Amino acid sequence: MKALLLAGGFGTRLRPLTLTRPKHLLPIANRPHIEHVFDLLLAHGIEGVVLLTSYLADAFEGAVASAEGRGLAVEVTHEQEPLGTAGALKNAQALVGGGTFLVFNGDILTDCDLGRVLEWHRMKQAEATIWLQPVPDPSAFGVVPTDRDGRVLGFVEKPPPGTAPTNLINAGIYVFEPTVLDRIPAGEVWSAERQLFPGLVEEGAPVFGISTDAYWMDIGTPPKFLAANLDALEGRFRTESVPHPGAGLVLRAPGAQVEEGARISSVCLGADASVASGAVVESSVLLPGAKVERDAVVRRSIIGDGARVAQGVTVEDETMAPGEHDALS
């Protein structure tokens, strides 16, 4: 079985962090997010990956080499111009083969039991299966009502608060039969969420949903990206990158330095990041090469690659762009 990873988006919601790299390579617990997806696939015995790229495609070379070194067979497709979530799948049709395959939205972090989802797909003899996630407020998502048997009844995109027919949303992991790809026009911008899925339901195709109690996070905004890192540190998302999670944990990548006299808690320190004496850093992510100078304060923030928080400056609930040296206050 193969898994297709949608990795062609511009990461607009994550700017300025994505000005220099795709969002799929931003680190969760000091490892590129995409490597956590590889972990999940390998844990379920899935060893074939098709990486669907567009924006900053060359940046994935290191991740591809790392995946192949772990036993994954990786194929890469590239779009000169993004074709949408369904259009990207159509672009990779020749690589899918004749069997059932998985699809992952590139900005999802999860420990979903893929075996359970695949079993449900086969039991229902589905053409398409959507993993559904319950959320407290579905108004910011695509809501997916189902009948008692799990058959998808329709799609409601970002319903006004209090009007959603269910709290189950499209969680961005799918199981498809290859016939699904025949319904997507070649060379056109086509959306899975707004065109492919509604079309399948309208024609009566067997489209089913399944929900689980797995960890799930859409890391597509700075607050969610930060939350995912803190979840890894504290054990809500379990990863081998954090063998002993706990409250207040500081995870240091190679070359990261914390001077004596600094106070630091619940932080991911990227490679060669540094925190000077007298500084306070709490519930934050410092990307590689980021620097927090003496007596500065950083709380609930993301400091971009090579950015510097100047001496005595306070940064709270902010995202600093890569290389930024201007003081925020």
* CA distances to 53, 152, 228, 321 from 85, in Å: 11, 19, 23, 28
Same domain? 173 vs 283: no
Same domain? 251 vs 201: no
Mean pLDDT of 67-71: 88
The pLDDT of residue 37 is: 93
78 pLDDT more than 50: yes
Q: Is the pTM of this model over 0.85?
A: yes
The number of distinct structural domains making up the chain is 2
Mean pLDDT of 292-316: 95
Residue 234 within any structural domain of the chain: no
Would you report the helix, strand and coil content of the chain in percent, each value rounded to 5?
25, 30, 45
* 207-241 pLDDT tens trace: 999 998 899 999 989 999 999 999 999 999 999 99
Residue 288 within any structural domain of the chain: yes
Mean pLDDT of 303-311: 95
* 263-300 pLDDT tens trace: 999 999 999 999 999 999 999 999 999 999 999 999 99
* Residue 299, C-beta contacts closer than 8 angstroms, at least 6 positions apart: 280, 281, 282, 283, 284, 314, 315, 316, 317
Same domain? 196 vs 256: no
Q: Which two tokens stand for residue 174?
A: 């799918």
Same domain? 197 vs 272: no
* 101-115 pLDDT tens trace: 999 988 899 999 999
Same domain? 257 vs 313: yes
The pLDDT of residue 147 is: 92
Same domain? 55 vs 124: yes
Same domain? 116 vs 255: no
38 pLDDT more than 50: yes
- CATH number (domain holding residue 200): 3.90.550.10
Mean pLDDT of 169-195: 91
Same domain? 211 vs 251: no
* 106-156 pLDDT tens trace: 889 999 999 999 999 999 999 999 999 988 888 878 889 899 999 999 888
Same domain? 92 vs 42: yes
Residue 129 within any structural domain of the chain: yes
The pLDDT of residue 327 is: 55
Longest dimension (CA), the chain: 66
Residue 172 within any structural domain of the chain: yes
326 pLDDT more than 80: no
Same domain? 16 vs 147: yes
- CATH number (domain holding residue 308): 2.160.10.10
31 pLDDT more than 60: yes
14 pLDDT more than 90: no
What's 182's DSSP letter? G
Same domain? 251 vs 175: no
The pLDDT of residue 62 is: 84
User: Residue 18, exposed/middle/buried by CB under 10 A (0-12, 13-18, 19+)?
Assistant: buried
Mean pLDDT of 294-320: 95
Q: How far apart are CA 24 and CA 43, in angstroms?
A: 19
Residue 19 within any structural domain of the chain: yes
The pLDDT of residue 329 is: 45
Percent share of the chain, pLDDT over 70? 98
Residue 223 within any structural domain of the chain: no
3-state secondary structure of 65: helix
Residue 42 within any structural domain of the chain: yes
- Polymer length of the chain: 329
Among 146, 202, 186, smallest CA distance to 170 is for 146
Mean pLDDT of 193-210: 92
Catalytic residue numbers read 158
Mean pLDDT of 164-188: 91
What's 22's DSSP letter? -
Domain limits at 257?
247-320
Same domain? 71 vs 129: yes
Residue 231 within any structural domain of the chain: no
CB crowding 107-143: b at 16 or more within 10 Å, else e: bbbbbbbbeebbebbeebebbbbbbbbebeebeebbb
* Residue 40, C-beta contacts closer than 8 angstroms, at least 6 positions apart: 110, 111, 112, 114
